[in-house]
Amino acid sequence: MFKTRLFKGTMALTLAAGMLFSAHSAPVVNAAESNCANGYVALTFDDGPNAGNTANLLHALKQAGLRATMFNLGQNAQNYPSLVRDQVAAGMWVGNHSYTHPHMTTLSSSQMSSEITRTQQAIQSATGSAPKLFRPPYGETNAALKSVAAQNGLTEVLWNVDSQDWNGASTAQIVAAAGRLQNGDVFLMHDHYQSTLQAIPQIAQNLKSRGLCSGMISPSTGRAVAPDDGSGGTPSPGTGTKVEAESMTKGGQYTSSISSPFAGVALYSNNDWVKYTQYFANGTHSFSLRGASNNANIARVDLKIGGVTKGTFYFGGSYPAVYTINNVSHGTGNQEIQLVCTSDNGTWDVLIDYLEMK
């Protein structure tokens, strides 16, 4: 057993430093600097996640200080669960866009239900939460489909303005379409077009010049509204209290320090842990953990505060990523914060960089 762990530790130390995933390190606009005087619009991207484009899309959105709703296909979410988690970690919202992108109105009610429920399950498996929004492929809907969506707790969402990226629109044409957005409007785009990707910085400038911000879609109305997490129209700029893993107290049979893919700590076995004591003046915070698995399998880390498990971070690949548990309630005063490896089966490990509180 010890030799197995020693080999795994060596492998972790030799992970290439160049594998950093830029979607989690891009600079963003401070929410306090946003001017949302004229309201919010919802930017939406259909048909993701895509291995060849989603990381670049998230990077572009974060650089531009934009948030968006990603209407994912269930089969793509099933194939690329780490990209779904990357969407959430980048501050995006995730919706249901069916499993295989069929013409839903040609299906029976049971087939409609299968398309929707399989997608709900794939996204919930990846992120821990099921979507609340459903966008029918091609915008095709009827009373039967609306009923099936409602039975799954979903609000159907179409759009007010179509970018026409699916129809060969140029970057300039996509930007011009975004210029028609008004407060509450929903903008249709897709994950896999370079013209759309290249339009993002100009869309951001256009919205800013008109006093508009990118918002979330209300499950009640299907219209764009201010985000309900207090972050305005932009992803969090990451100005909270950050504690590096290597500065925490280490425990467990195989916990070790690492220098690659970042300076941090590796939890090599179930119940390996790191911990520290934090003073809290108030009892609600959000916690973001940067880390990785040492391969494509899902590794998990439980967050414990005062000895009580408050949530779980999931890492599904060797690219470092940041995942967040929002609005965690906990005790005040001095509290012990512990990060515990709880999914190791002898074939993968959890690599931890830092924990940030906001």
Query: What six digits make up the tokens of 213?
Result: 């911000």
Separation of alpha carbons 343 and 303, rounded Å: 13
Separation of alpha carbons 111 and 46, rounded Å: 21
HEC readout, 67-128: CCEEEECHHHHHHCHHHHHHHHHCCCEEEECCCCCCCHHHCCHHHHHHHHHHHHHHHHHHHC
Contact partners, residue 212, CB within 8 Å, separation at least 6 = 36, 38, 39, 40, 41, 181, 183
Separation of alpha carbons 165 and 136, rounded Å: 17
* Annotated catalytic residue within 24, 97, 190, 330: 190
Count CB neighbours of 153 within 10 A: 12
Contact 251, 273 (CB under 8 A): yes
Q: Mutual orientation of helices 194-209 and 171-178 as an angle, nearest 10°?
A: 30
Question: Catalytic annotation on 46?
Answer: yes
What's CA 213's distance to the chain center, in Å? 19
* Annotated catalytic residue within 24, 46, 47, 353: 46
In the block, residue with structure tokens 């209290």: 241
Query: What six digits make up the tokens of 325?
Result: 């548990």
Question: Which residues are designated catalytic?
Answer: 46, 190
